Structure 1
Amino acid sequence: MDKVEQFGRWIGRWFTVLVVLWAAFNYFLPQTSLWVVPNTSYLLGIILFGMGLTLRLEDFERIFRRPVPVLAGTVAHYVIMPTLAWVLCLIFQLKGATAAGVILVGSCPSGTSSSVMAYLAGGDVALDVSIETLSTLLAPLALPGLLLLFAGKYVAIPTTALFVSTLEIVLLPIILGVVIHSIFGRKIEKVTKALPLVSQVAILLIIGAVIAANHANLFTSATALVIPVVILHNLSGYGLGYLFSRIIRLRDPQRKAITFEVGMQDSSLGATLAMKYFAPAAAIPSTIFSIWHNISGSVLSSYWRNKTKTKTSVNAAPAAIDSKN
């Protein structure tokens, strides 16, 4: 199990590079992952079941002990990202399934990799996990409602089917994971060490499936604007999330957590639902988002980490001088 854990850490360290390489590989050899296309919902269920296995009752208690920052971050996520997606669709005049795909990824709960980015940046990981948990639990209601509000003019929104699917794909696996963790306790901890690797492999498989299903239409005039839209969506989410956290006067670690929680989406969920309920083109924004937010999140977390180290070194220097005097 130690070797599996070490391999998972290695995959995590190079995950962004692996995502880009795997996406390129499936673009040129789409037959590699076509078998995954009908199974993406099962893969996402595995990812979220793993998330449930890592959750404890304390994670839910924390939401009630510190409700203000958790609720504020969750509301900010579900207000900022869908609205940004809708505004960008208007500005860039996106239509049909492409516009619906942008709004779909904007309406998803927080991304599972945000807690990793918050940890690397020196953010409040506990707050990050709490917001991620709450936003995911609210997804069955929030996601169909936001799609109906913002994307209804682009495509028909099967709200009831989306609600049921989100319950089945998102909520049930998490609840099952939490229940199993509660029953078996520490006995399950050996298994949880392999979960990051399982989740990363599942995400790669979903990305490969979406690329394979869309390889003929990935770089066409109809989808050419998706890349800048996705980049602007993610970066604006970071900026507005950070601004919001400053306005409500949160501490620096909390600002970092909310920044990542607002700006990073569960793009795997977006891609899975797009493939199931909309045209294949609707999954392209989620796939590009999955690749891009791993890149931008890594850069931002590195910047904050280096900034913290620099500040610590500057503050330590006068102290060292004073100790000598």
Structure 2
Amino acid sequence: MFPVWVVLGAALALVRPQTFTWLPTGFITWGLALTMLGMGLTMRLQDFANVFRRMPGLLLLGMVLQYSVMPGLGWLFSRYAGLPAPLAVGIAILSACPGGTASNIVAYLARGEMALSILMTAASTLAAVVATPAITALLAGTLVPVDAGGLLKSTLQVVLLPVLGGCLLNQRFPATVAHVARFTPAAATLLVAAIVGSTLAGSAGAVLASGPALLGAVAGLHASGFALGFAIAKAFGLSGKICRTMSIEVGMQNSTLGAVLAALHFADPLTAAPCAVSACTHSVMGSLLAAYWRRTTAGEEEEEGGQGHGGAGGQAPGGAGPGPGRPGGASAREGRAGFSTDAK
């Protein structure tokens, strides 16, 4: 249901902007912070150590792909898609964002490696505190002035602190958090839909005017990310399960974070539009890709009996289905490239 609600929020913002324009200025900031808190509530600090120990090579490869493939594509699309400067800057911001929380749902539906998906999302989110402002300044600094320090501060406030706060609450009050966490997926889905709607409502006319070009650039960015993520993982000789996971994690971005950063640090409201459009686009594209893979890989788990299986519990804050929980141990050796997932 996550893509459905996000698309509905975006459509309503474009048709009836007044539905969202009444929301207070700080809504998108607090909304994202609460979403990240929900992600943190489903994790423990020990989870990070567990995955670093079990599959360090795969996690490192995923992080490198996340912050090299998408920024590289972002540079191409922001320069050569023929978009006006504010939208080009928005594409650059989008490409510099970490993996999106909805990717965990899509990885589950696509029969991907859940433990790896969850920790790639979490690790790239924490790395975003430094990586996102730095990459944004590098890609967009030649188009408009970029306040890298301000981006760093905002990312710290709306990503790192809420996620760590959620982890600590989960460790300190596990019974209470387990009860509350049942409601966080639905709450986060509505929050993201409202953030997307609020972002688009402020520039609905301009977004509609540049619709085909903007949608084409955003869809092209994500499609290229999905394709390259899969192809590069395949080139390393990794299993289909891991290749699908890498594809999804690279291709899906935390566009809500991009929308918040764009709204806070760039004067032109159009700058946030690519990220808002992305929230709809990558969710729909990812869901369709997952449906295809789920149909075409039904017998893969039996064929890969020795491969690892994600043991993550809980739900992703972006919607229904397994998501950032306590990652289980993937116990297989993946592929020919020496990326071991054995616990030592």
TM over 0.5: yes
The one-letter code sitting in structure 2 at the alignment partner of 1:173 is: P
Distance of 1:63 and 1:107 partners within structure 2 = 24
Could you list the per-position Cα deviations for residues 112-149 of structure 1 after superposition, in whole angstroms to 9, with x for gaps in the alignment?
Answer: 10010000111001000111011000111001110111
The answer as to whether partners of 2:203 and 2:273 remain within 8 angstroms in 1 is yes
Partner of 1:20: 7
Partner of 1:198: 187
Q: How does 1:311-322 map to 2 (within 5 A)?
A: none
The one-letter code sitting in structure 2 at the alignment partner of 1:198 is: A
Distance of 1:273 and 1:57 partners within structure 2 = 26
1:35 aligned residue (22, 31, 38): 22
Q: How does 1:176-325 map to 2 (within 5 A)?
A: 176-221=165-210, 224-278=212-266, 279-309=268-298
Partner of 2:146: 157
Alignment RMSD? 1.8
The answer as to whether partners of 1:95 and 1:154 remain within 8 angstroms in 2 is no
Output the TM-score relative to the length of structure 1: 0.89
The answer as to whether partners of 1:37 and 1:210 remain within 8 angstroms in 2 is no
The answer as to whether partners of 2:5 and 2:190 remain within 8 angstroms in 1 is no
| CA separation of 1:31 and 1:303: change in aligned 2, threshold 3 A | same
Report which of the two structures shows the higher radius of gyration computed on alpha carbons: 1
Distance of 2:300 and 2:98 partners within structure 1 = 33
Partner of 1:318: none
Partner of 1:49: 37
Partner of 1:128: 117
**% same residue:** 34
Q: Does 1:61 align with 2:49?
A: yes
The one-letter code sitting in structure 2 at the alignment partner of 1:162 is: L
Could you list the per-position Cα deviations for residues 127-175 of structure 1 after superposition, in whole angstroms to 9, with x for gaps in the alignment?
Answer: 0011101100011100111011111111111011111111011101011
| CA separation of 1:49 and 1:124: change in aligned 2, threshold 3 A | same
Q: Secondary structure at the match of 1:153?
A: coil
Q: Secondary structure at the match of 2:18?
A: helix
In structure 1, stretches of 5+ residues that fail to align are 1-13, 315-325
Structure 1 residue runs of 4 or more that deviate by more than 6 Å after TM superposition: 310-314
Deviation at 1:251, TM superposition (A): 1.7
Distance of 1:265 and 1:176 partners within structure 2 = 22
Distance of 2:24 and 2:275 partners within structure 1 = 15
Q: Does 1:171 align with 2:160?
A: yes
In the comparison of the two structures, how many residue pairs are matched? 301
The answer as to whether partners of 1:47 and 1:202 remain within 8 angstroms in 2 is yes
The one-letter code sitting in structure 2 at the alignment partner of 1:31 is: Q
Distance of 1:308 and 1:31 partners within structure 2 = 45
Distance of 2:301 and 2:255 partners within structure 1 = 35
Q: Secondary structure at the match of 1:123?
A: coil
Output the TM-score relative to the length of structure 2: 0.84
In structure 2, stretches of 5+ residues that fail to align are 304-344
Distance of 1:130 and 1:310 partners within structure 2 = 26
Distance of 1:120 and 1:42 partners within structure 2 = 29
| CA separation of 1:37 and 1:89: change in aligned 2, threshold 3 A | farther
Could you list the per-position Cα deviations for residues 221-248 of structure 1 after superposition, in whole angstroms to 9, with x for gaps in the alignment?
Answer: 4x64211010110000000000111122
Deviation at 1:312, TM superposition (A): 7.9
The answer as to whether partners of 2:17 and 2:201 remain within 8 angstroms in 1 is yes
| CA separation of 1:37 and 1:273: change in aligned 2, threshold 3 A | farther
The answer as to whether partners of 1:62 and 1:130 remain within 8 angstroms in 2 is no
The one-letter code sitting in structure 2 at the alignment partner of 1:237 is: G
The one-letter code sitting in structure 2 at the alignment partner of 1:40 is: I
Distance of 1:36 and 1:266 partners within structure 2 = 22
The one-letter code sitting in structure 1 at the alignment partner of 2:162 is: P
Deviation at 1:310, TM superposition (A): 6.3
